[in-house]
Structure formats: structure tokens, C-alpha cells
Amino acid sequence: MRNTLPVIIAFLAGIAMVISFFFNPERTVLGTFQENLLQWVTIVGGFTLVLGVFSIVRVNARAVSRRSDGWFYKLATVISVFAMAIPSIMPTSANSAFGKVFYSIFPISWAGAFGTGPDSIYDWLFNYVDSPMMETMFATLAFYIASAAYRAFRARSAEETLLLITACLVMLWRVPIGEALLRSIDVRIPDYINMFVMNGFNLSVQRGIIIGAALGMASMSLRILLGIERTYMGKG
């Protein structure tokens, strides 16, 4: 029963979603069922976020308590989770029941600091701590790519040479000075790159990948609906 019931639920929910696509959601029972099912999915999705928070706190708190390698960074992770989460879920007014209790203890002038709105603690932490850190991490990629370009991009074979030349042409085309340079050689070169490289070779290969992935996704969905694929239950 532990195996059969989830498979039955997955089958019924999947089939209902497929069939209900063909019916008007406002006029049919199946359409209403689909709407309800989608609401459930978003609610379940919300719980997975809570589960994620619980999991990250538990794993990192254990490492901190055992003083394992890098425990200090794990402590920073746990503190960061709570520093972002707690102010954002505090009430921003005394309208709700929780708000009434909260602001009977704390001054109502604190309300602007809570929630996720402009000038809240969450907003400040996001704009001045989280966002710059993420941007910095991403920006360092440019340095690694430049280093990799120098050391690894080698024209060892005809295919590699073709790839290198194409990559250099596209890189030139994607920036104003490069495009101007290409136009100075022949005014049609940038248009040719767009037409033949991006809308030609690139497009055809991308389309092949997209169709292949879609077919794979369809077959995987079918396997789940029919109960052949059970890895989502933690079984092979």
C-alpha cells in the first residue's frame, strides 16, 4: 500500500491535469478540479521552502555544535537565514491578530522595519548585503573565463578552430566596438553573423536539443504516470 497509493495519486493527478487542459476551467468540474490542484501544488511548494529552511538550519547547526571544519561559516549561514527571515515575517501593522499582540508589546513605530517592503530590514539586507555579494561572486566569473580563454581555448583540430573563430566573431558582434570593426570590413558582416550563426547553425542545434529534451520530458512524465518511474518516492 505504501508504494501503490502514491502511484495511484500520481496517476490520477497527472491524468486529471492532462484531460482538464481540454476543458473550460470556469464551466466544468474538471476545470475547477485542475484549479484546486494547482493551488495545492503552490501550497505544497511553500512547505518545501519551509522544509528547506529547516534542513539548512539543522545541518549547519549540527556542524556548529560539533565545531567541525568551517563551523564559523556555517554559523554565519544560520545567522543569515534568521536575520533575513525573522524581520520579513513580522507583522507590518496591528490589523491581524498576531499584529495586535506583537504591537501591544513593541512600539508600532517599528512596523516599517518589518515585512519585505521598501526600507524594511529585509530590504536593506537584500540591497546592501545579499545582492552585492551575489553580484560579486558572479562577476569573478569574467576573470576565470579570461584565464581559461588564455590557457584552454586551443585550435588543435579543424573543429576547435572553427569553434574558436565563430566564438571570436560572435564576441565581436555582441559589443559596439567589435560590431563597428566588422562593419568597417564589410557592412553586411554583423547581419550575416545574426542570420547564419545565431539564426542558422545555433538555431538548428538549439532546436534539436529542445525537441530532444521535450521528448525526454514527455517519456519521463509517462513513466511517472504509469508508475514505472518511482525515484520520486526514493525508490529505483
Count of CB atoms within 10 A of residue 59's CB? 13
Q: Report in angstroms how near the CB of residue 105 gets to another protein at its nearest.
A: 20
Cβ pair 172, 178 in contact under 8 A: yes
**Half-sphere CA count of 43, side-chain side, radius 13 A:** 6
Helix, strand or coil, per DSSP, at residue 154? coil
Closer to another protein at the Cβ: 75 or 92? 92
Which residue lies nearer to another protein by CB, 49 or 105? Answer: 49
CB 82, min distance to another protein, A: 16
For residue 109, with 0-12 CB atoms within 10 Å meaning exposed, 13-18 middle and 19 or more buried, which class applies? exposed
Give the distance from CA 79 to its chain's centroid.
23
Of the two residues 53 and 233, which places its CB atom closer to another protein in the complex? Answer: 53
Nearest-approach distance from CB 84 to another protein, in angstroms: 9
Distance in Å, CB of 198 to another protein, minimum: 5
What residues line the site for another protein (CB under 8 A)?
Answer: 21, 25-26, 31, 34-35, 38-39, 41-42, 44-46, 48-49, 92, 115-118, 122-123, 126-127, 130-131, 134-135, 137-139, 142-143, 145-147, 149-151, 153-155, 164, 167-168, 171-172, 174-180, 183, 190, 194, 198-199, 202-203, 206-207, 209-210
Count of Cβ atoms closer than 10 Å to residue 218 Cβ = 10
Among residues 71 and 99, whose Cβ is nearest to another protein? 99
* DSSP track, 169-182: HHHHHTSHHHHHHH
Q: How far apart are CA 215 and CA 227, in angstroms?
A: 18
Give me the helix-helix angle, 203-225 and 4-20, nearest 10°: 130
Residue 62 or 174 having the CB closest to another protein: 174
- Report, in Å, the least distance between residue 187 CB and another protein: 11
Min dist CB 131 to another protein, Å, is: 4
Q: Under DSSP, is residue 67 helix (H, G, I), strand (E, B) or coil?
A: coil
When the beta carbons of 36 and 65 are compared against another protein, the nearer one is: 36
